[in-house]
Amino acid sequence: MSPDQPPSCIFCKIASGELESDIVYSDDQCVAFRDLNPQAPVHVLLVPRKHIENLNGLTPDDRGLVGALVSAAPMVAAQLGLAVDGYRVVANVGRFGGQSVDHLHLHILGGRPMRWPPG
In contact, 64 and 44? CB cutoff 8 Å = no
In terms of CB distance, is 64 or 118 closer to ligand AMP?
A: 118
55 binds ligand AMP (CB under 6 A): no
109, 87 contact by CB (below 8 A): yes
Active site residues: 105
Greatest CA separation for the chain: 41
2 lies in the binding site for ligand AMP (CB under 6 A): no
Stretch in the footprint of ligand AMP (CB under 6 A) among 23-31, 33-41, 65-73, 74-82: 33-41
Of 56-64, 68-76, 96-104, 111-119: span binding ligand AMP (CB under 6 A): 96-104
Sheet holding 42-48, edge to edge: 23-26, 30-34, 42-48, 106-110, 87-90
| Contact letters for ligand AMP, residues 62-91 (x by CB under 6 A) | ------------------------------
Residue of 17, 18, 36, 81 that binds ligand AMP (CB under 6 A): 36
CA 21, CA 56: separation in Å to the nearest integer?
A: 26
CA dihedral sign of residues 73, 16, 10, 60: negative
Q: Please give the residue ranges that form the binding site for ligand AMP (CB under 6 A).
A: 10, 21, 33, 35-37, 45, 92, 98-101
